[in-house]
Structure 1
Amino acid sequence: MATGWAGDGAVQDQIDATVKDAIERARSKLRSGPGLAHCEECDAPIPEARRNAVPGVRLCVDCQAAHDSDAAHSGFNRRGSKDSQLR
């Protein structure tokens, strides 16, 4: 495929770099280190198995599930048409 001055595979290299940057950005947002022994919202004890499985855990399973549920309903209509989003 003729792409002018760009070399062969330049588009794929750009895609790979973009994906790599996105992965690094996502990893930088992950918590690390020891987690809390008690949930910061309800003060329930967090089991040791959860603290070992999730580095930097701060919420119990119930509070995390509620937090994730709230985040899933962000208010954006991602499945509707653009016209329905403009109303």
Structure 2
Amino acid sequence: MAGGWAHDGAVQDQIDSTVNDGIDEVRRRLERQGPSLTHCEECEEPIPPARREAVPGVRLCVACQAEADKRHTHQSGYNRRGSKDSQLR
């Protein structure tokens, strides 16, 4: 249910755009250049075949990828496309 000047489904539209923005950000960060490596380029540990299939062009093992993700700065925590109410939280 939408309120005020918003149309019906506006809340779902806001949720969808937030999810789509997150997916777009992750896709931009993925390195899809060439085939997946068999060993991590940082620690030389083998990369499991299931990971190589799931993430095309993977270059890091799970542990090194987790560390790289911690170093990555994230965008703001609220949806800039949302209503004024969502920005006040």
With structure 1 as the length reference, what TM-score do the two structures score?
A: 0.48
More helix per residue: 1 or 2?
1
Structure 1 or 2, whichever has the larger Rg, is 1
- The structure showing larger relative contact order (alpha-carbon pairs under 8 Å, at least 6 residues apart) is 2
With structure 2 as the length reference, what TM-score do the two structures score?
A: 0.47
